[in-house]
Chain A
């Protein structure tokens, strides 16, 4: 009974993440192509995708390596791009913190944008979801994306220089995320949060390595709490 519950949660996760594959496949392929072009070996390119498994920071590191930047700077910039995942980790902790250490380590390894976004939305939508089902849902989402990320990095690496020039990944991205954000705007507090996030992210866009986004997100979170508290008091 519980097993079938978990397996259905797993497959729900798989289905929920399917639309995101449209973005993951070309991005992974691009990374493969670019890494080989930059001079990494096939095994290094694959290790990047398998061990680091964080697209934006992989590209950042690659760019800085082409600039022959100091290793310390490469690490600092690439990890700054990933700092937002500390927030993801914190957001997942109340929902998944009860899982065994090994499962949590596994969740940590696969804690990237898609798995975080879908999982937190799901857990908030269904607060009485049992813990094993939550873990199963997370696994469904992340175990769909992760192997594709690695497989298409490999394909990209093999393809080498061939890449269709009509590929417009940047078009797909905002549309996909707008459709993710819209259902999140369920109260005035959420709308205020989104507003602050947008305004500050634009204002701080010139700050390096996504640090502007981190500041914007933090201020937006504080705004959300303040607005929500005020609304509760006045109600």
Chain B
């Protein structure tokens, strides 16, 4: 991880603000005003529209979902087979980029990023 302390705090602060803005959005903007009946009717379906879609991949591809958890054991670098080729390409690209910008190879000791979780892997509702 190559971020200054300031950058890390900046990421945390901006994520906090952004996340709050998303969560507060409709509660804050709409307040007690009535919504259009169609919208309100649609929103009544949100739980049954979101949750099955959230669970289905976890039920059908449990190994994929478990990947995120197993990979949390930091030593492990196991990758799901289906995504490996794409990842290798990315990694090679990154190496090439390092090579170009860092002819002395000072960055070379960074032997590829440790991959233990991908954003798409994360089961949504484990925590808040």
Contacts and interface: CB of A to CB of B under 8 A. Distances in A.
Contacts, number: 322
B23 A111 contact: yes
Contacts of B16: 51-52
B73 to A, nearest CB: 6
A89 B25 contact: yes
Interface residues of A, number: 120
A74 B3 CA distance: 12
B51 A177 contact: yes
Interface residues of B, number: 76
Contact of A55 (B45, B58, B128): B128
B4 to A, nearest CB: 11
Interface of A: 23-24, 27-28, 30-31, 33-34, 37-41, 44, 47-48, 51-68, 71, 74-75, 77-94, 96-98, 101, 104-105, 107-114, 116-117, 120-121, 124, 145-146, 149, 161, 163, 165, 167-171, 173-174, 177-178, 180-181, 184-185, 189-190, 193-198, 200-202, 205-210, 213, 216-218, 220-222, 224-225, 228
Given A62-B117, A198-B53, 6 more contacts: A51-B15, A68-B113, A90-B43, A169-B126, A184-B51, A208-B120
Interface of B: 1-3, 5, 7-16, 18-20, 22-28, 30-35, 38-60, 62, 65-66, 68-69, 72-74, 113-120, 122-128
